[in-house]
Amino acid sequence: MKKKLVYILPILLSVFIMFSCSDHTKVYKNAGEIVAKKSPSVDFIKVETLHAMLDTGAMVLLIDVREANEFNPGYIPGSVNIPRGLIEFKIANDSYWEAQFLYPPLKTDEIILICKKGHRSILTVEAVKKLGFENVKVLDGGFKKWELTYPLEQEKNLDQVHDGGGEVGGC
């Protein structure tokens, strides 16, 4: 019996290691596949719910992860622009928030991520949660959905747009 165990145990251990590490080596065909994989684990908030929250003065931090040239032509009032590529460096940086004349977010604060359609926000949730922020949601449908639902309720910084830049990130 002990001889069989000596042979079976390494085989079982090898199989266990192969299956536990398999997701780390997964190669995706495109960003859409990654978004589809991560979407089920993300908490979404509907634009109507966010609108009602803002109307009642609820304390919520809106972070728009689009690039500045996408953000400036139109954004949800009260949102802060932190592009996806900088989120890890700025969200927990007290100096950044002081420069914005805002208090740094607490790890328990409600944070809603916004991008054009929601895809970049979905990809950003994991990074924000890894920094210890617990209550992170994605605006379902992104700014496009907000813009279509509440066309008169957005702000613009057209004087700060440096170039026509176009769409960044494809989503």
Instruction: Tell which residue, 94, 71, 93, has the closest CA to residue 143.
Output: 71
pLDDT score recorded for residue 162: 44
Q: Is residue 152 domain-resident?
A: yes
Q: Is residue 75 domain-resident?
A: yes
Q: Is residue 107 domain-resident?
A: yes
Q: Is residue 155 domain-resident?
A: yes
Measured in degrees and rounded to the nearest 5, phi and psi for residue 121 equal -65, -40
Give the mean pLDDT per block of 10 residues along the chain (171 residues): 66 67 74 89 96 94 95 93 96 95 95 96 95 96 94 74 50 54
> Which helix (H) or strand (E) covers residue 114, if one does?
strand 110-114
**Type of residue numbered 158:** L
For 73, the 3-state DSSP assignment is coil
Q: Is residue 63 domain-resident?
A: yes
pLDDT score recorded for residue 152: 82
pTM of this prediction exceeds 0.85? no
Q: Is residue 31 domain-resident?
A: no
* Straight-line distance from the first to the last Cα atom of the chain, in angstroms, rounded to the nearest whole number: 59
Domain range for 98 is: 42-160
Q: Is residue 61 domain-resident?
A: yes
Per the CB < 8 A criterion, the answer to whether 56 and 106 are in contact is no
Q: Is residue 3 domain-resident?
A: no
Looking at the structure of the chain, the number of domains it has is 1
Report the C-alpha gap between 73 and 104 in whole angstroms: 26
What CATH number does residue 85 fall under? 3.40.250.10
Per the CB < 8 A criterion, the answer to whether 158 and 72 are in contact is yes
Report the C-alpha gap between 119 and 38 in whole angstroms: 10
